[in-house]
Structure formats: C-alpha cells, structure tokens
Amino acid sequence: MASWRDGKSAAGLGNGYLPVPNNSVEGDLSTTSEKPRRKRSRRSYAMLCGLGAVALLLAVGAGPYVERQIRGTRSVDDIFDNWGKPGTGTEDRAWYPTDFLRDVIPIPCHSHNDYWRKVPLFSAIHAGCIGVEADVWLRQNDLLVGHDLAALQPNRTFQSLYVHPLVGLLERNNPSSEYYNENRRGIFDTDPDQTLILLVDLKTGGHETWPWVLKQLEPLRERGWLSYFEDGKVHKRQITVVGTGNTPFDLIVANSTYRDAFFDAPLDKLEGSSYDSTNSYYASVSFWASIGNVWFRAGEPNEDQIEKIRAHIREARKRGLHSRYWELPPWPIHTRNRIWEILVKEGIDLLNVDDLDGATKEDWTRPTTFFKRFFRLFR
C-alpha cells in the first residue's frame, strides 16, 4: 500500500506544477506567506492538543465500552437460548423453583418510593434491595398505592402490588416436595434468612388506615411469614412490616404481648424515648432537616454534621434499631455518591435510594462512575 513515507505519492504531486518565472520577486513571496503559515501552524497545534485531550478524556470512560464491542456483548448463557424449549429434550430440567432471584445478592438499601418503579417490588428485589416502600391511601374500603391523589388507580392496591406478589414469591421459594417441606426460606435464594422490610407509609388518617393495613396483611400472617414480637422476644421472619408517615405509635404498641408490625422511630429523637427493637425496626429522619445542607461542599459534611450522623447511628444501634436517612441530596451525582460513601463508612444500616442501578450496580466511590454513565448513552 502506498504511504506518505515512501515518496511515491509525493513525487506524483509534482507533475502539475510549473516553475516560478525568473522575474518573480522571491522576497515578496516569502514575506507574504510566512505569517499565514505560522498562524496555520499554531492553529493546527492547538487543534491537535485539544483533540488529544478529548481523546484521553473519552478513553478513560470509553475503555470498558470499546472492550465490550471488541469482545462482543453476548452473555456466557446466550449459547443456551433454546434451553427448556419444546423439542430440545431439556424441558423437564429448565425450571428451577427460585429462578427469579436465584443469584441476587441482598444489599442493605431501601427502595424509596418503590411504587414508581417500572415493576413495583420486583425491580427493587431483583436489584438486591432488602427494603421497599409503599405509600397507601384509604379509599372506598381499600388501600390504594401512589405518591399523591392524582396517581391513585383502583387496580393499584396494597395487596395487588405487594402482599399477593410476596405470597407468590415465598410459595415458590418454599415448594412442597419429597426433598423439602418447610416454610422458612425468604425472598433471596443466596441468603434465605434475610428478611425483607415492607415500609408502609400511611398518607391518610392513621387511626382509620392502620387497621386496614393489618387486615390486608393476613395472607402473609396466616402462612407465618411476618416477623413478630411475642412475650418479650422478637422473632424474625421472611417479611418485616414497618409503619411510617401517619402510622400511630399508640396502635403499634396497643397489644403489649404480641405484634407483627413495627414502627419507624424518629432517628433524631431517640434519646430518652421508649423506642427499641420490641416496638420499632427502622429509625429514620430527613437528612436535610436533621443534618443540613452539604451541596455547597460537594457532599462533604462539616465536623458538626459528621458528629450528628455518628450520634444518630450510635443511638439507633444501642436500641437495636436500623438507621436510615431519607431526603438525601439526589443531585449533582458526585454529591449524592459522596454522601452515600460517607454514610456507609459511618455505619448507616440502610441507604435510602431512588437510583437502583447507581446504588447496586456501580462502584459509586470511583470517579469513573461519571464516564460509565456518559457512555451508557451509546450502548
């Protein structure tokens, strides 16, 4: 192949050139052309430097993307696309009782406003979240789920989105066969002892709504799948129900010997209170209201704020409660990620998350997270 280095192409360029006439003024030519050439050289050099910097920047984030394109995006399981299909001889070997969550690792995160997910409950637990949240409104003798009144639909109910799907998952995880006939396995196949926290945020009057919540939990209760307190001891089961929002604490503790739902205690008001693991599970508070603004410091709390966080977590742990902050700064992403990192470092029990992928699939402690998000646009 011809190249600019072998001289052949360069020689061919000379065929069309004419000699410069003898009466031309050589000095004039050099004077008029040297300055434009210098300007063009400087512009070219600046352009090359700029392109080099952009290329370097892109390479940092694009490396994994380019590698995937070269290697191919097929999964190792793609060659088994026909596994389990009729006529393949594998029909009776393809089904696994806990297929949906067989390789999901539970992660200490709480799916905030879970009903906003594409598939409520399932999106969160498939990401590994061990806590989900449902806002419930008492309307016409039923509990509807939604963020506000405009979002309510008669077919999106507490039972249809949460209670009945949980029953179905747990029945599948606890099949009755000649090999297994127990009732103890939880949602996650990789950790069947992990409880799933169902946080029920009451949006209508607590004393009217809470009895309906307890009533609609009956399908889980009758199968023995609700964590409960009895005779001074808490028994952990597959699902732990926690009331928040307008949930009245006095109804939670009305029965002093037995309860199968717990309270979301105020994380910033635990000292000198009666909240403990026998009546509460979460201890939560708004990060913004209790800790304050960290946006102007790129997510770095000051010393006083760090001490507040430590005091909150310490007090919750002393009472056997699980600490959680809601209303964390969602943006800029680096600010949110830095807050997550600090809270985990300080020992927070559950991260309150809206971005499931950001919390469960990315290493948000690394600066390359930004580039990964950017290049996701090109996949």
- Tokens at 179, concatenated: 């090999």
What's residue 19's pLDDT? 45
What's residue 23's pLDDT? 47
CA 286 to chain centre: 19
What's residue 203's pLDDT? 98
d(C-alpha 194, C-alpha 236), whole Å: 9
Closest CA to 183 of 130, 232, 222: 222
What's residue 145's pLDDT? 97
- Tokens at 137, concatenated: 């409104």
Query: pLDDT per position in the chain (379 positions), as tens?
Result: 433 334 444 443 444 434 444 444 444 444 445 555 555 666 776 677 767 766 665 555 555 554 445 445 555 556 567 767 788 777 666 566 667 787 899 999 999 999 889 999 999 999 999 999 999 999 999 999 999 999 999 999 999 999 999 999 999 999 888 998 899 999 999 999 999 999 999 999 999 999 999 999 999 999 999 999 999 999 999 999 999 999 999 999 999 999 999 999 999 999 999 999 999 999 999 999 999 999 777 779 999 999 999 999 999 999 999 999 999 998 888 899 999 999 999 999 999 999 999 998 878 766 544 444 444 444 4
What's residue 326's pLDDT? 97
Closest CA to 357 of 33, 111, 95: 111
